[in-house]
């Protein structure tokens, strides 16, 4: 069961080259792609707790893999309303029955950690990090409840360097640097591991950061954030399978 944002979903990637498709093909197992475009851990919690989703929940996934990238602490990702229109299983089977779902879980966690006034402030990464960890703990509790025998992996996507970033990112370089600093810190990984979650980075798996031109969709196609290119998961997934003995 794959959780995450557009990186997991396979935004602008050819169907056969998405994370879920490559994983399914190489392991010969059903792979559920629950990546949500423009989201972070919030949508994962909402999906796992939604009553409407219960009929299509995977039965006994061996692994739950959440893919994290540097932008997951951005304010807008906590406030996006989630649509159930990006559910895909294996080779991009669409699921579009449900419409909008309110952000109850974000509101609940904001209240718990008193963070509402910080969500729109780009400088308050540490505050939003508390919120992220609060929601991640709830995701772990929910997956333990649904799948007590499954293993949870937190996959950190070691993103591209600034040389390949577009103007939108360059204009926010200080906040981007802060996001990378947090993502690469020892305390970030240790805090997640303390929840009983295995932390793996793509850099550990393939021995490099995603800093080659072919690692991203071309700017002519993807003028927003630099999403993974068609060959990225072909390189990462075999190493991941070996690492977790899948």
Rg (CA), the chain: 17
pLDDT(92) > 60: no
**Does pLDDT of 18 surpass 60?**
yes
For residues 106-118, give the mean pLDDT: 47
- Residue 81: what pLDDT? 44
Q: What is the pLDDT of residue 125?
A: 77
Say what the pTM is: 0.82
**164-205 pLDDT per residue, tens:** 445 544 545 566 677 778 888 889 999 999 999 999 999 999
pLDDT tens for 150-165 read: 999 999 998 755 444 4
Residues 34-70: tens digit of each pLDDT: 888 778 888 888 788 877 677 778 888 999 999 998 8
The whole-number pLDDT of residue 219 equals 66
CA distance 137 to 150: 16
Instruction: Give the ranges where the chain is alpha helix by DSSP (H).
Output: 6-9, 19-27, 41-49, 75-79, 104-113, 125-146, 167-170, 173-183, 186-193, 202-206, 232-244
Model pLDDT for residues 65-91, shown as the tens digit of each residue: 999 988 888 777 776 544 333 333 333
The predicted structure's pLDDT at residue 173: 53
Task: Return the DSSP state at 95.
Answer: B
């Amino acid at each position: 069961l794959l959780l995450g944002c557009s990186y997991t979903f396979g935004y602008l990637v050819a169907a056969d080259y998405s994370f879920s498709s490559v994983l399914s093909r190489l392991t010969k197992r059903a792979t559920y792609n629950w990546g949500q475009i423009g989201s972070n851990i919030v949508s994962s919690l909402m999906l796992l707790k939604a009553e409407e989703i219960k009929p299509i929940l995977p039965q006994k996934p061996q692994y739950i893999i959440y893919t994290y990238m540097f932008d997951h602490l951005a304010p807008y990702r906590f406030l996006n309303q989630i649509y159930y229109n990006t559910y895909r299983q294996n080779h991009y089977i669409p699921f579009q029955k449900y419409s909008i779902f309110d952000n109850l879980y974000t509101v609940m966690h904001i209240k718990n950690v008193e963070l509402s006034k910080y969500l729109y402030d780009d400088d308050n990464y540490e505050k939003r990090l508390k919120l992220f960890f609060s929601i991640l703990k709830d995701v772990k509790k929910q997956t333990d409840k649904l799948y007590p025998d499954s293993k949870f992996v937190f996959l950190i996507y070691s993103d591209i360097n600034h040389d390949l970033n577009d103007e939108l990112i360059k204009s926010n370089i200080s906040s981007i640097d802060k996001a990378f600093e947090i993502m690469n810190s020892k305390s970030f990984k240790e805090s997640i591991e303390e929840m009983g979650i295995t932390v793996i980075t793509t850099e550990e798996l393939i021995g490099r950061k995603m800093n080659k031109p072919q690692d991203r969709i071309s700017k002519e196609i993807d003028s927003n954030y630099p999403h993974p290119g068609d060959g990225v998961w072909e390189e990462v997934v075999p190493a991941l399978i070996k690492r977790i003995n899948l």
